[in-house]
Amino acid sequence: MPPLEVWQKVLVKEKFLDTDIHAEVGCITCHGGQPDTDDKDNAHEGMVKKVGANPAQTCGSCHVDYAKAAQTNIHRLQTGYQTVLAHRGGDFTNPTFTTAYNNHCTGCHADCSDCHVSRPTALGGGLLSGHLFKKTASIWQTCGGCHSTRIADDYKGGHEGIPPDVHWEKKGMLCSDCHDDDASYHNGSHGGTRYEDPTAPTCTQCHETVAPGDGIEQHDSTHLDKVACQVCHAAGEYKSCFGCHTGIDDKGIKYFASEPSQMTFKIGRNPVQSERHPWKWVLLRHVPTNKDLFAYYGEDLLPDFDALPTWKFTTPHNMRRLTPQNERCNQCHGQIDLFLTEKDVAPDERNANAAVIVAPDDIPQLVEEAGP
Amino acid sequence: MNHRIPRSIKPLLWPVAGVACMVLVVWIMRSPAWATTLPEGEGVAMQPRSAPLMTAMDVNQEGGTTIARNADQTIEMQAAPPSSDNCIACHTNKQKLKDLAEEPEEIRSEKASGEG
């Protein structure tokens, strides 16, 4: 999605002024600035662009509970990033580490206005719709603006040869139709990553009749207990990223550079087995992190890098009822290329991924199939 | 001089005397003006709606860092918001915004590559 022109980013619609209750408080109440001048520079003196960054003093003066809850929101505080980096040995009391983190990771921070008023920084920022407040975030411009190639493109069929998710194609479902848990958007008291959110959506929340004996042969207890839904129902490959490095160039501009992404489909052992994720077999996606992620800033800033796999539990958003791997038993059974084996993992990442790599002998063997 | 009370008024004397006594008692027992409390909501300070008192949060504009501090227990009533006429006059004028727009400095490094 191309960025807006500079003037487009700040053009306020008359409709906002006429119909939106938020216009009633006036611009300066939230944004600050100087009221008694029409000179651009003078008028903008002391002005705050992103007022949602401090919800207690702006949004929170009316939306008290939301502002209070936002204090621990996962989108706002990026507890997922912090959790996994700390697990890999990242020391958030080390100024060198926190400089690297602040320079390259906090750009993904999102506050109230990033969902309800503005386009995210990843899309170049600017107002979503002339300052009109959107109760439900725009699926493509806000949710999909950040969760783009790894979620939005999966969902709308943006990867060549891979059909869109049936929930979008047939039902037109928006992100919030499934992700209706308040924890994701307004409070994050669960801490940790999104997969640790006890209120996160599950397939069986809607598909509640899925159970052994539901008339679908593969829905026996062996498969339902051991295999995550996505293993059978992901429509095909999804994007994996590799080799992200960060730094500051000669002009002082912060940057990251990553290796070309790849479309992958890999079944592996479940690295987050729990009551919520009980399966043995899940889909895995390679994330861009690597041992030298922050090497520009110092040596060994992630000393326990191998504590977590780089092929991580994933839930691709390209679900279909019928997929190539569930067409017949032996489209999955015995198909070694579908499984993450040692040869798929870079040698310097094999320790980190030991828990998810599948030994060839453990791959479900071919079975005798009825029919042609 | 004969001060006889007319016969028709006599039955009303005792009820009138009773009411007068009650008014007197109430007047004597009432609080003095300096001790009278204003009804809720009419003071110079008021609670922010019915929600629990909140804790203030500060986040720097770069995002990330949060500093928590205790909020005051009351919110002073605000004066009328400052005029936004100048802001609105400019930010609803497409041509003026185009004329005043300044292209931001290059923020993408030549070394940057790959997908975020």
Question: What pLDDT does A183 receive?
Answer: 65
Q: For residue A295, is pLDDT > 90?
A: yes
CA–CA gap between residue A124 and residue A32 (Å, rounded)? 23
pLDDT, mean of residues A215-228: 95
Cβ distance of A27 and B107 shorter than 8 Å = no
Using a 10 angstrom Cβ sphere, with 0-12 exposed, 13-18 middle and 19 or more buried, the burial of residue A320 is buried
Please name the member of B59, B94, B116 whose beta carbon is closest to the beta carbon of A7: B94
Please name the member of B56, B81, B92 whose beta carbon is closest to the beta carbon of A14: B92
Summarize chain A as % helix, strand, coil (round to 5). 35, 10, 50
Q: Are A356 and A311 in contact (CB under 8 A)?
A: yes
Q: For residue A200, is pLDDT > 90?
A: no
Cβ distance of A106 and B63 shorter than 8 Å = yes
Please name the member of B71, B84, B114 whose beta carbon is closest to the beta carbon of A257: B114
Question: What pLDDT does A347 receive?
Answer: 97
pLDDT, mean of residues A184-198: 77
Percent of chain A with pLDDT over 90: 75
Between residues A195 and A277, the one the model is more confident about? A277
Res. A372 pLDDT band, cuts 50 70 90: low
User: For A162-171, what is each residue's pLDDT tens digit?
Assistant: 999 999 999 9
Please name the member of B54, B63, B90 whose beta carbon is closest to the beta carbon of A38: B90
By C-alpha distance, the chain B residue nearest A108 is B63
Question: What pLDDT does B28 receive?
Answer: 67
Between residues B58 and A359, the one the model is more confident about? A359
Question: What pLDDT does B55 receive?
Answer: 28
Residue A256 CA, chain-centre distance (Å), reads 18
Question: What pLDDT does B26 receive?
Answer: 72
Cβ distance of B91 and A249 shorter than 8 Å = no
Res. A185 pLDDT band, cuts 50 70 90: confident
- DSSP label of A295: T
Question: What pLDDT does B3 receive?
Answer: 57
Scanning A122-207, the segments in alpha helix (DSSP H) are: 144-146, 153-156, 166-169, 175-178, 182-185
Residues of chain B with pLDDT under 50: 1-2, 31-77
Lowest mean pLDDT among A94-103, A120-129, A207-216, A343-352: A120-129
Cβ distance of B59 and A29 shorter than 8 Å = no
CA–CA gap between residue A167 and residue A315 (Å, rounded)? 14
Lowest mean pLDDT among A175-189, A248-262, B34-48: B34-48
User: For A40-73, what is each residue's pLDDT tens digit?
Assistant: 999 999 999 888 888 888 888 899 888 888 878 8
A-B CB pairs within 8 A amount to 147
CA–CA gap between residue A191 and residue A201 (Å, rounded)? 16
Q: Are A101 and A90 in contact (CB under 8 A)?
A: yes
Token pair of A213 as six digits: 């004996």
Question: What pLDDT does B21 receive?
Answer: 84
- Tell me which chain B residues have a C-beta less than 8 angstroms from the C-beta of A102: 62, 64
User: For A132-148, what is each residue's pLDDT tens digit?
Assistant: 999 888 888 899 989 98
Planar angle of CA A152, A154, A160, nearest 5 degrees: 120
Token pair of A41 as six digits: 């520079």
- DSSP label of A289: -
Nearest to A357 by CA among A319, A318, A306: A306
By C-alpha distance, the chain B residue nearest A43 is B87
